[in-house]
Chains A and B, each alone.
Chain A
Amino acid sequence: MDGLNFDLTEIPLRTVNNFLHKEAPGQGVKKVTIANPDGAHNIAVGLDFAVEIEVVGHAGYYAGGMNKLASITVTGSAGTGVAENMMSGRVHVKGFASNGAGASMHGGLLVIDGDAGLRCGISLKGGDIVVGGSVGSFSAFMAQAGRMVICGDAGDALGDSLYEAVLYVKGKIKSLGADAQIEPMSEVDLKTVKDLLAAAGTAFTGHDPKDFKRVASARGLYHWNADANQEY
């Protein structure tokens, strides 16, 4: 079986997700189109096989959440928590993404062509996020591992309480969060940004890695300091 089309005005999403979980992996399904998503929640969540999914329109909450191996494209915007807890594979949002995009991701690549809302990459545990536009406040809060490339601006408190995730920002940073600091770009950083922009697609390769700033943890919060009086 090669290409399949599902129209969510005709078939319940739960049936589609069930098929993608249970039958599709064994049937050699390679490509699936989901039409008329109309903002439904939980589209193509929990996939666990290599398949190409195109969601034609606007997705609701948690699209592509917990993804493993699949490559999911949303042609419109995505609601709260797109690709949250992704393990591997790829999720590409062609429009904007709402709050909590890529929250708690462990692996894979999340590409957002437009802006991302607040708390993008919160608690990132691995994997990569590339945002063509800007990200909202509190992005990469407590991000532990993985990388984020932000081609636009960042809101308040970027990278608050960062662990070992690294952020690259081209535009303005409204404010850095506690313990986040701007560091010089090394050759490794320049190559990392170049590779991630290339992985994100041709729309991103026009950006020059030299224009990005590196934001990483000052590691001052790694150990409790009773004398800091809650000020960092």
Chain B
Amino acid sequence: MCGIVGLLVKTPALKSRLGELMVPMLIGMTERGPDSAGLAVFTDPLAEGERKISLYSGLTEDGDDFNWLGLTHELKQHLGVEVKIAPQGNHAILTIGIAPEPAKRWIKEHHPKLHILSTGRAIDLYKDIGTPTEVSNRYDFKHLTGTHLVGHTRMATESAVTPDRAHPFTAGEDFCLVHNGSLSNPYGVRRMLEPRGIKFETDNDTEAACRFLEWRLREGDDLETALQKGFEELDGFYTFLMGTPDKLALIRDPFACKPAVVAETDDYVAIASEFRSLAHLPDIKNAKVFEPAPEEMYVWTA
């Protein structure tokens, strides 16, 4: 099992309440996924030349006490540009005014245990082991703001319970994916991608799906074409929910082995594995509630 949740607000006034509306959705999926939780939130994008990088220090020796300001200072000296950081325990968001690769290379070289969660102009990513309530409190999810988000509660089946194997997974920039289910051909997908220079960070099956779809997008496919290739290449059970800077996308395997339900009003689109994560949302009694069909693409634009 696992739980997935997604929320996209259509009414600008709800952007400031994104986190507050989402936390009960995530906690509602605790029974489906009590061992880890995470989410990716998409904010208004930074300027063209700027990037933000979400970092996780829980795998380093210093853990929650990681010296984020020290890291910022060293990185500034190395890059010779301004580096901003917003730390929160074992998590921090680094902002730079240049392309992200030199910073990421330096981090990997000098702090190999620091985990790079995401890179982009719009995405902030948080994930850790613990119950959805614990993880929500750890990062103060209820105060998150933005246009849309993708969240996940994990009950591990295909790989170990560790922070880096929690969802969402990311690849490239401003793309993330969460998964309920299990793939039967992740190693085949990996063997196809690795000779193309695509590097994997874990042995998790979901990472293969995430890197496959991001590779298709980077090769020039639009989202719909990439998802169609996903139907053709990815085998197994899945409900996938994906986030891009302006879209949420959902697909289910042809056997609809893993659940999903959608509630839509004039103000928002909310997605969850089960209705019990949607029951608290405003005006839910008048929402259009439906079950997404298997092997169909559902794409909502922020």
Contact = CB atoms under 8 A, between A and B. Distances in A.
A41 B28 CA distance: 13
A153 to B, nearest CB: 12
B contact face: mostly helix, strand, loop, or mixed: loop
Contact of A58 (B259, B280, B289): B289
A77 B256 contact: no
A58 B256 contact: no
A112 to B, nearest CB: 12
Interface string A19-42: 000000000000000001011100
B289 A77 contact: yes
Interface in A92-121: 95-96, 98-99, 117-118
Size class of the A contact interface (CB-based, 8 Å): 20 to 34
A117 B256 contact: yes
A39 B291 contact: no
B128 interface: no
Contact of A60 (B255, B275, B280): B275
A96 B262 CA distance: 13
Contact of B276 (A39, A76, A77, A117): A39
Given A40-B276, A60-B275, A118 B255 contact: yes
Interface string B252-268: 00111001010000000
Contacts of A38: 275-276, 279-280
Given A60-B274, A118-B256, A39 B279 contact: yes
Interface string A36-53: 101110000000000000
B210 interface: no
Contact of A79 (B255, B275, B279): B275
A contact face: mostly helix, strand, loop, or mixed: loop
A76 B289 contact: yes
Interface in B87-128: none
Size class of the B contact interface (CB-based, 8 Å): 10 to 19
A217 interface: no
A117 B261 CA distance: 12
A71 interface: no
Contacts of B280: 38
A125 B277 CA distance: 34
A219 to B, nearest CB: 27
A96 B294 contact: no
A85 interface: no
A73 interface: no
Contacts of A77: 261, 275, 289, 291
Nearest to B277: A39
B294 A137 contact: yes
B289 A79 contact: no
A80 interface: yes
A89 interface: no
Contacts of A61: 274
A62 to B, nearest CB: 12
Contact of B289 (A80, A95, A137): A95
Contacts of B279: 36, 38-39, 58
A159 interface: no
* Residue among B254, B259, B274 having the largest count of chain A Cβ atoms under 10 Å: B274
Nearest to A80: B259
Contacts of B259: 79-80, 98-99
A115 to B, nearest CB: 8
* Residue among B256, B277, B290, B293 having the largest count of chain A Cβ atoms under 10 Å: B256
Contacts of B289: 58, 76-77, 95
A136 interface: yes
A99 B274 CA distance: 12
* Residue among A40, A58, A80 having the largest count of chain B Cβ atoms under 10 Å: A58
Contact of B256 (A36, A79, A96, A136): A136
A98 B291 contact: yes
B5 interface: no
Contacts of A137: 254-255, 294
Interface of A: 36, 38-40, 57-58, 60-61, 76-77, 79-80, 95-96, 98-99, 117-118, 136-138
Given A60-B274, A95-B289, A117-B256, 10 more contacts: A38-B279, A39-B275, A39-B279, A57-B285, A60-B275, A79-B259, A99-B259, A118-B294, A136-B256, A137-B255
20 contacts: A36-B279, A38-B275, A39-B276, A39-B278, A40-B276, A58-B279, A79-B274, A79-B275, A80-B259, A96-B290, A98-B259, A98-B291, A99-B259, A117-B291, A118-B255, A118-B256, A118-B294, A137-B254, A137-B294, A138-B255
